[in-house]
Amino acid sequence: MLPAVAAQVDRLVSLGATAPLTAEELRIAAKDLPDRPGLLVVAGAAPSVLAPLLRRGDKAGFVVTDMTDAEDFAPLPDVAVPDAPVYLVEGLDRGDHLANRSPDEAYPELARTGRTPLLLTEGVQWVLQDPGALARNACFMTIGSRLRRRNGRLDARTPALWISNGTGRDGRERRDAPKVGWCWAGNRHTWLGFASATARTP
């Protein structure tokens, strides 16, 4: 469960995770947010910078080695993001009920129900504030963010957050660590939901 916005601000300041804002700029901007439950999101926060600050027990988070372009994943055209330094993401849901669907299948279903898919940076900031948002066999994708190639077509990767098993290039020392990675847009996974929200409010 997410703490109050003021407590979320304090956590980001204590972690040194306020960029691209200074701590003082964040405190000032956050005062204008609605006084209701939601996730405080710092616009422009870099997933690769925040990922190592994620924690699960004593394990630090990380970005997979073949996702060096994490910062290039941008909002899809129909995902409306406020033009503001900070905003509130309301009505968060991990999307467990959509598990075992592919991103290509889940995206229109979210739209049909009036929900907006989370961005990668929003998902990382959610887990930063609420580590319990990731659980074994119940993690999530953030399909509001996609990478567009030079030819204009979307890259087939879709970003996700889950818990490492410590296999392959992750390394055994990273077992149980929060992990920022990707899955193919056409693939299904029984353990990945599709995180979404009802609104983004500046």
Radius of gyration of the chain, Cα coordinates, nearest whole angstrom = 16
* pLDDT of the residue at 145: 98
Quickly count helices (H) and strands (E) in the chain: 5, 14
| Cα dihedral across residues 23, 54, 110, 146: positive or negative | positive
Q: What is the C-alpha separation between 147 and 162, in angstroms, rounded? A: 19
Q: What is the C-alpha separation between 38 and 199, in angstroms, rounded? A: 10
Residue 122 pLDDT class (50, 70, 90 cuts): very high
Supply 127's token pair: 């887990």
Angle, CA 93 vertex, CA 89 and CA 99 arms, to 5°? 140
Instruction: State the amino acid at position 41 in one-letter form.
Output: V
Whole-model pTM: value is 0.96
**What is the per-residue pLDDT across 27-72, written as a single tens digit (0 to 9) for each?**
999 999 998 999 999 999 999 999 999 999 999 999 999 999 999 9
Q: What is the C-alpha separation between 71 and 121, in angstroms, rounded? A: 9
3-to-8, 40, 114, 115, 129 alpha-carbon distances in Å: 6, 10, 25, 22, 8
Supply 16's token pair: 């040194």
